[in-house]
Chain A
Amino acid sequence: MELINIQPTEQTPKVVLNSVKRFFEIEGESRPENAHDFFFPIVNELKNYMKSVDNEFHKDIFSEFPFSAHFKLMYFNSSSAKFISDLLFVFKKYYDKGLKLRVYWYYNDGDEDQRDVGEDLSEMVAFPFTFVMVKG
């Protein structure tokens, strides 16, 4: 079931949270006119979902089939950065509680800046990311 399904625009990314397939994805460019209005409902929905799976039943499922979060942000502005870190802190909180989940950070081949941004965020939330280089 898709708890979040936001289609991309020129200024905002595609965002999907699927409870059946156990994945979260944010993809594209993020420079919304009002970052709070765009991200606040997403952060809330993610918090609610994570709260709903914080139990032994889901921990068992996640241990076999981990939840994955895919950050495919090719560009985001400084106001979006604050909310992206909020999303990561939600994942970190439930990872620390024993839910098996992985964060994948995508960057274009040769774009070391974008990889560095991911490394900074990973260090900041004290949560390991898997880095995925996108070719061509």
Chain B
Amino acid sequence: MGESNDIVHYSGDLNKSEIDKILSQIKEKLNEQGVDPQVIRRIYSASVECLDNILKHTPKGSDEEEINILNNYPGKFTLKRENEFFNLFAGNVIAEECIEPLKTKFEVLASLKSANLMHLHKKKLLAAEISEKGGAGLGLIIISRLIGKKIKYDFEKINNKFSYFALRIEFSNILD
């Protein structure tokens, strides 16, 4: 068994002020551990995008029953150090209709080589429009470019309307 340490762990209702606290904690702890600034930047960038996604894409619930269900499945964010790797776990409830488009996005990103990802990133940046939720749809592309490998993800069905979406991103502490 190798060494395993939680850098940060959060479960509950996220808001901007909690996100600020989590991000400060990540910077502080990784700096304390003497992690390479470039690795810190990669982890920090992915953390911002994941936290932002939890905040923007978790459904609010339209009645008491839905709100209760959502309360039972809070947003989660964990960053762990496991030997030479950092693992970021993020999870939140998403609406059922978001699953297929998201799966397609993951599959497309996983199929692209580094140069193609860069090309896609530039193309999307030029065409980006800010959605009603304030996103530009670039977050997963940025994360894929940062880690240079597949993002692992899973969907767990809650009911016909909602699923729990979890993703895991692994960062090497050693730069290429």
Contacts and interface: CB of A to CB of B under 8 A. Distances in A.
Interface residues of A, number: 23
A79 interface: yes
A36 B48 contact: no
Contact of B136 (A31, A35, A110): A35
A31 B55 CA distance: 13
Interface in B114-149: 118, 121-122, 125-126, 128-130, 134-139, 141-142, 146
A120 interface: yes
Contacts of B122: 120, 123-124
Contact of A35 (B130, B141, B142): B130
B138 A75 contact: no
B52 interface: yes
A33 interface: yes
Nearest to A114: B41
A33 B130 CA distance: 12
Interface residues of B, number: 29
A82 B37 contact: no
Contacts of A112: 38
B49 interface: yes
Nearest to B44: A75
Contacts of B37: 108, 110-111
B16 interface: yes
A120 B136 CA distance: 18
Given A11-B16, A111-B38, A78 B134 contact: no
A120 B117 CA distance: 12
B41 A11 contact: no
B136 to A, nearest CB: 5
A46 to B, nearest CB: 18
Interface string A19-63: 000000000000101111000000000000000000000000000
B130 A81 contact: no
B138 A36 contact: no
Given A110-B38, A114-B41, A120-B122, A81 B136 contact: yes
Interface of B: 16, 20, 36-38, 41-42, 44-45, 48-49, 52, 118, 121-122, 125-126, 128-130, 134-139, 141-142, 146
Given A35-B130, A79-B135, 16 more contacts: A10-B20, A11-B20, A33-B134, A36-B130, A36-B134, A78-B142, A79-B52, A79-B130, A79-B134, A79-B136, A81-B125, A81-B128, A81-B138, A82-B129, A82-B138, A113-B42
